[in-house]
Structure 1
């Protein structure tokens, strides 16, 4: 299916590996002009060589760095049509054992950074009366699970997605989120756990994922590409599970 994304200007945060890199590959295959921003130089150089995307190095935990790299992308590409907010990470332990600074760090990376990029992108998209913003959240933002700091931040991002979507759709900007379940990729936590404790990890899959396997990053990326396109023109403020049935929610 031709999604009509040829020459669309796409910025992907946290896009040098995992789901972000898979989204970059799928969107490049659709003919989009893709820019990837991440912290690690080596991973950025690798994806640039592999996919021919533009790359930007920045510490997205830092407010000023986010503004710098966003403005650079817009200047280089003369605008932005699609933003994929993939930046995030997991930290801490149980609530009682986790200090408040760690909670704040989780919110900064998983929530505030994404809100910041969304606001900046919407400011540009408003002028052109079109655009698509996709937030990568998690099934653990829709129900309890995972580390509590991550769970809380992703839940907040899902809520922001709906609220912001309702605010900016009048300007032709669609905001949605994709909530992946457990995804296996070479640089992810599940790969590490599989190597460290294969039997326990296989039992997790058996007990928790009805489809009987981990998801792949490209399976998330294809949903991102659909939401980015006009084929999803009437999808506004949605949170779409991509999880092989892992979530317990019935909507």
Structure 2
């Protein structure tokens, strides 16, 4: 199926590993021009070479100045941006009572404010060209308790932001949607570490909590992102789609 993504300029945050790397790979295979941003130089360079990407940018995406510098470089290099994938994220802390407030603030800066900021930077350019796509990678735990409270809160905010921004900019030809993965297994992720540390416990978790009976893959998330970025999803606006093998307990 031709998704008509060839030549599109795609920017993926947190694109050096895991879900972000799979998304970058999928777009590149569709003939898009792909740039990624992340914090670790070594991982960026490795992913860029492996996937034959068009650009990569190093910076702390939880810091507004770094985000502005990276986006400025992106526009200098490509002249525009057609698709922004706000994927960067992370988890910290423990229970709400035992987690310092500063960790909640850090989680919001990385998971939520990075998405808001990059979206605000991209929207004027997309408005000027009369089209664009923004996709926010959240989590099923943005709709229900399951992850750490810092992470849940930030991803819940992202889901709400996705809908509000989508309604605001669709008349300008800009579609905003989201993807909410469930438990995804990949070599650099927390689930892989947990599986190696206690395979019995994690296999029991999969059996009890994931109706499909297995972890999801990064490619399965990337495939949904490709669909949402394409004109095949032209009537999907403000949605955040679960990609979770039935894991979520919510019915919306």
TM range (shorter): over 0.9
Taking only aligned residues, the RMSD between alpha carbons, in angstroms, comes to: 0.6
- Aligned residue for 1:215, secondary structure, equals coil
- Aligned residue for 2:246, secondary structure, equals coil
Cross-structure match for 1:152: 153
C-alpha deviation, 1:62, in angstroms: 1.1
TM-score, normalising length from structure 1? 0.99
Cross-structure match for 1:37: 37
Per-residue CA deviations over 1:52-103 (Å, capped at 9, x if unaligned) read 1111111111111100101111110110000000011000000000111111
Matches within 5 A, 1:102-117: 102-117=103-118
Cross-structure match for 1:243: 244
Cross-structure match for 2:6: 6
Equivalents in 1 of 2:136, 2:162: separation in Å?
A: 7
- Aligned residue for 1:183, secondary structure, equals coil
Per-residue CA deviations over 1:109-155 (Å, capped at 9, x if unaligned) read 11111100011111110111100000000000011111000000000
Q: Tell me whether 1:213 sits opposite 2:214 in the alignment.
A: yes
Per-residue CA deviations over 1:142-171 (Å, capped at 9, x if unaligned) read 111110000000000000000000000010
Equivalents in 1 of 2:48, 2:211: separation in Å?
A: 36
Cross-structure match for 2:227: 226
Equivalents in 2 of 1:101, 1:223: separation in Å?
A: 34
Equivalents in 1 of 2:124, 2:87: separation in Å?
A: 19
Uncovered stretches (5+) of structure 2, i.e. residues with no partner:
none
Matches within 5 A, 1:1-251: 1-53=1-53, 54-251=55-252
C-alpha deviation, 1:20, in angstroms: 0.2
The runs of at least 4 aligned residues of structure 1 exceeding 6 Å deviation read none
Equivalents in 2 of 1:151, 1:250: separation in Å?
A: 17
Equivalents in 2 of 1:141, 1:59: separation in Å?
A: 23
- Aligned residue for 2:37, secondary structure, equals strand
C-alpha deviation, 1:205, in angstroms: 0.2
